[in-house]
């Protein structure tokens, strides 16, 4: 595991450099081999997604293949033309990109608001499928080994690679290990982040409090991370058991209903809880609540609450401890 840990950490250092120093990233873009640029261009031509971010990416690829140097100023100029829906400036691109560019837009949010930094825009040129598969495999292996080494048979893991939580690129990977009866945002986690400065410890789920309340320690290897997590094992398990007890759910009872949580009555069925949640969503008094049932012998949980990052209503559907879908954002 130490070798896989170091593999992720080494790549994270490079990505962190690109994230923090855009000039280094732009230099790396200009140094990409033409054969690789042509491969990426072909991928974007056939991707089937023609939004503004991908239009920017494929235009940058076009210029690089055409032996033009790309600069920060050039990137901003391309963004400006895309914002202005200047289809004529992109007539050399596949027609699907041009057609999408001139479609009417709604709202006032900047079309690049989710991709503010250069790394968010161009991480896909470096974090490609072969590397992505190997990193995801390494993260999964570390996660599985932690579950085994920490003897957490009733816990699940949530893993995020360099794609990031919002799928707009990041410079670190992380693992959160939490009880199967809870969502990772609703629990205390065995947390490991592998980035420029890897750290491990007790993470506080977004719906429990401020992430800054987490207790994290710098680590330099899998063995060090495991030592730190073992130190917090009893505390994390105890805190999560208290959370589960407060839910009042017997996970072995197919007919079990949760006790009242945060003002949502457990005596109501799912449809009634949903209606109550939607009413609360229109007020400033929205609370997290859970609806646990078994369907076809499978433990299913629906969590109602406020998104920790976006601070907007959400419902997450979980099957056997793993989030399978999100809705009502």
Q: Report the pLDDT averaged over residues 213-239.
A: 96
Indicate the Cα dihedral angle 203, 135, 113, 44, nearest 10°. Answer: -160
| E-strand stretches of the chain | 155-160, 173-179, 188-194, 199-204, 215-218, 289-295, 298-306, 313-319, 322-327
Asked whether the predicted pLDDT for residue 75 surpasses 70, the reply is: yes
State residue 72's pLDDT score: 96
Do both 153 and 104 map to the same domain? Answer: no
Indicate the Cα dihedral angle 224, 219, 310, 22, nearest 10°. Answer: -140
* 246: confidence class by pLDDT, cuts 50, 70, 90: confident
Do both 189 and 211 map to the same domain? Answer: yes
State residue 274's pLDDT score: 61
Instruction: Give the chain's domain count.
Output: 3
State residue 314's pLDDT score: 55
Do both 85 and 165 map to the same domain? Answer: no
State residue 326's pLDDT score: 45
Whole-angstrom Cα distance, residue 144 to residue 149?
Answer: 9
Q: Is residue 26 part of a domain?
A: no
Do both 110 and 174 map to the same domain? Answer: no
Q: Is residue 73 part of a domain?
A: yes
| Boundary-marking domain end, from 193, 217, 246 | 246
Contacts of residue 90, defined as CB under 8 A and 6 or more positions apart, other chains included, come to 55, 59, 81, 82, 97, 98, 101
Question: What confidence tens digit (pLDDT) does each residue in 257-312 have?
Answer: 443 333 333 444 555 556 665 665 555 444 445 444 443 344 445 555 554 444 44
Q: Which two tokens stand for residue 69?
A: 């140097």
Give me the domain span that covers residue 45.
32-125
Report how far apart, in Å, the C-alpha atoms of 173 and of each of 16, 137, 138, 188, 257 are.
11, 12, 10, 18, 36
pTM: 0.74
State residue 276's pLDDT score: 63
| Boundary-marking domain end, from 125, 152, 184 | 125
Q: Report the pLDDT averaged over residues 179-189.
A: 87
Asked whether the predicted pLDDT for residue 7 surpasses 90, the reply is: yes
Q: What is the mean pLDDT of the chain?
A: 82
Q: Which two tokens stand for residue 239?
A: 């805190």
State residue 185's pLDDT score: 83
Residue, of 267 and 89, whose pLDDT is higher: 89
Measured in Å, how far apart are the chain's first and last C-alpha atoms? Answer: 38
Give the single-character DSSP code of 213: G
250: helix, strand or coil: coil
Q: Spell out the SS3 assignment of 144-180.
A: HHHHHHCCCCCEEEEEECCCCCCCCCCCCEEEEEEEC
Q: Is residue 309 part of a domain?
A: yes
Question: What confidence tens digit (pLDDT) does each residue in 110-167 have?
Answer: 889 888 899 999 999 999 999 999 999 999 999 999 999 999 999 999 999 999 988 8
Do both 295 and 208 map to the same domain? Answer: no
Q: Is residue 162 part of a domain?
A: yes
Q: Which residues pair with 319 in a beta bridge?
A: 300, 322
Q: Is residue 91 part of a domain?
A: yes
Q: Report the pLDDT averaged over residues 178-197.
A: 92
State residue 311's pLDDT score: 46
State residue 107's pLDDT score: 78
CB atoms within 10 A of CB 310: 10
Q: Is residue 15 part of a domain?
A: no
* Tokens 């859970």 belong to residue: 290
Do both 43 and 117 map to the same domain? Answer: yes
Do both 140 and 242 map to the same domain? Answer: yes
Do both 54 and 84 map to the same domain? Answer: yes
| Boundary-marking domain end, from 203, 228, 246 | 246
Do both 140 and 227 map to the same domain? Answer: yes
């Amino acid at each position: 595991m130490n070798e896989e840990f170091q593999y992720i950490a080494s790549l994270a250092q490079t990505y962190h450099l690109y994230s923090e120093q855009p000039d280094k990233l732009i230099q790396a873009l200009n140094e990409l081999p033409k054969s690789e640029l042509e491969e990426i261009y072909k991928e974007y031509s056939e991707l089937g997604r023609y939004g503004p971010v991908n239009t920017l990416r494929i235009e940058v690829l076009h210029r690089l293949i055409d032996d033009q140097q790309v600069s920060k100023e050039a990137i901003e100029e391309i963004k400006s033309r895309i914002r202005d829906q200047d289809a004529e400036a992109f007539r050399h691109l596949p027609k699907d990109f041009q057609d999408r560019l001139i479609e009417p837009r709604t709202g006032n949010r900047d079309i690049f608001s989710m991709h503010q930094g250069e790394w968010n825009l161009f991480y896909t040129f470096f974090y490609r499928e072969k590397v992505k598969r190997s990193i995801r495999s390494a993260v999964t292996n570390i996660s599985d080994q932690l579950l085994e080494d920490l003897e957490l048979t009733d816990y699940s893991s949530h893993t995020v690679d360099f794609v990031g939580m919002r799928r707009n690129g990041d410079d670190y990977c992380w693992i959160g290990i939490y009880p199967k009866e809870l969502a990772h945002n609703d629990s205390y986690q065995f947390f490991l982040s592998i980035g420029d400065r890897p750290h491990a410890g007790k993470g506080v789920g977004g719906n429990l409090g401020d992430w800054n309340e987490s207790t994290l320690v710098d680590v330099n290897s899998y063995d060090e991370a495991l030592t730190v997590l073992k130190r917090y094992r009893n505390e994390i398990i105890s805190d999560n058991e208290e959370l589960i007890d407060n839910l009042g759910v017997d996970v072995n009872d197919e007919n079990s209903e949760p006790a009242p949580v945060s003002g949502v009555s457990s005596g109501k069925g799912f449809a009634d809880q949903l209606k109550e949640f939607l009413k609360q969503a229109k007020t400033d008094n929205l609370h997290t609540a859970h609806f646990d049932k078994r369907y076809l012998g499978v433990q299913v949980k629906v969590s109602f609450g406020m998104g920790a990052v976006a601070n907007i209503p959400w419902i997450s559907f979980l099957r056997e401890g793993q989030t399978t879908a999100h809705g009502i954002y």
